[in-house]
Structure 1
């Protein structure tokens, strides 16, 4: 019961903070606030340059794979534990997940740079 109450309280508090963060800045909008700022000078060009969506997707994919590899870094210390079967099962699961994710990205051509 305490766990459920804690989870509910934390969820409600997080939702309230997100709502306030999105709602509060929209109350006081004016032109100076939405214009780009370049060290006090007038902008030389548009600050809202478009970028390649492919670059964005490759960058997000890199971050996800990097995070999964970071989860494997404590593995040498975990192998020294008493419960070796659980450690190896979790390591095999993470490596399998990483390999399956790479295979999926490869088949969906998410790693192709040329458009």
Structure 2
């Protein structure tokens, strides 16, 4: 128990030292050209935030989230494969991939995937 207390105190001092070193080293400068340039979405950080938002960036973000959630759904199927029959797994995956393909076709048909 005494060892845990000593290690905790040493770790706390080490973390405080690293934090103070980081504060000393990371001097921020507003003169940096890259900091004042627009970032990813095209908005300038020094303009008004009440300008119209492009719906194209929103649609791309939604498409990214949909395909990200798809990965979260597919990963547990590997664990479920152990307890199900082989034919059940193929049917579940086939239905899932058909729904995903129909969604991709819908996005393609409505020109949501055009980057221009």
Q: TM-score, normalised by structure 1?
A: 0.53
Q: What is the match of residue 99 of structure 2? A: 97
Relative to total residues, which structure has the larger helix share, 1 or 2? 1
Count of aligned positions: 71
Q: Kindly provide the CA deviation profile for residues 36-95 of structure 1, in whole angstroms up to 9, marking residues without a partner as x.
A: xxxxxxxx6422232211111111121112212321111222221143322221111111
d(CA) in 1 for partners of 2:50 and 2:68? 29
- Work out which structure has the larger RCO, using CA pairs closer than 8 Å and 6 or more positions apart in sequence: 1
Native 8 Å contact 1:68 1:94 kept in 2: no
Q: Is the 8 A contact 1:79 1:87 kept in 2?
A: yes
Higher gyration radius (CA): 2
Structure 1 unaligned blocks of 5 or more: 1-43
Q: How far apart are the structure 2 equivalents of 1:78 and 1:55?
A: 36
